[in-house]
Amino acid sequence: MSQAQLDGSLAAPSALQQLWLDPLHAWPAAQTPPAMSKKSPGDFIKQVLGRPVIVKLNNGADYRGILTCLDGYMNLAMEKTEEYVDGELKHKYGDTFIRGNNVLYISQQPKK
């Protein structure tokens, strides 16, 4: 019983948690897309800029880091980059530039 109350009191400040989370989501209220709406590549880029991403290259290597900038060629710059080859961490780089022709996809890193 007291356990349930404890859970309830923990669940209550979720609004506060949202306040913490919202600045990261960085969507102006007017632009916030409903969950199941169109999302063009431009919208996606706006959504992931400054956030952790996984970039997969055509050669199969993964780069995980914070996306700092991106252009129309998918040239991109990342911070705190980790290079994974065959799922194994090979190197860490402070700043990385990746030429866009190598990019297979840019994936939003799921929140942990």
Partner 1 sequence: MASISAAPSYLPLALIDKCIGSRIWVIMKGDKEIVGTLRGFDDYVNMVMDDVREYTFTPQGKKITHLESILLNGNNITMMIPGGDPEEGEKAGAA
How many other CB atoms are there within 10 angstroms of residue 65's CB atom? 24
Binding mask 62-101 for partner 1 (x = CB under 8 A): ------------x-------------------------xx
Please give the full DSSP string across the chain, using - where no structure is assigned.
-HHHHHHHHHHTTHHHHHHHHHHHH---GGGPPPTTS---HHHHHHHHTTSEEEEEETTS-EEEEEEEEE-TT--EEEEEEEEEETTEEEEEEEEEEE-GGGEEEEEEPPP-
Question: What's the min distance (Å) between Cβ of 69 and partner 1?
Answer: 14
Question: What's the min distance (Å) between Cβ of 13 and partner 1?
Answer: 25
Nearer Cβ to partner 1 (6/73): 73
Q: Hey, which residues between 24 and 43 contact partner 1 (CB under 8 A)?
A: 36, 38-43
**How many of the chain's residues bind partner 1 (CB under 8 A)?**
23
Query: What residues line the site for partner 1 (CB under 8 A)?
Result: 36, 38-45, 48, 54, 58, 60, 74, 100-101, 103-108, 110
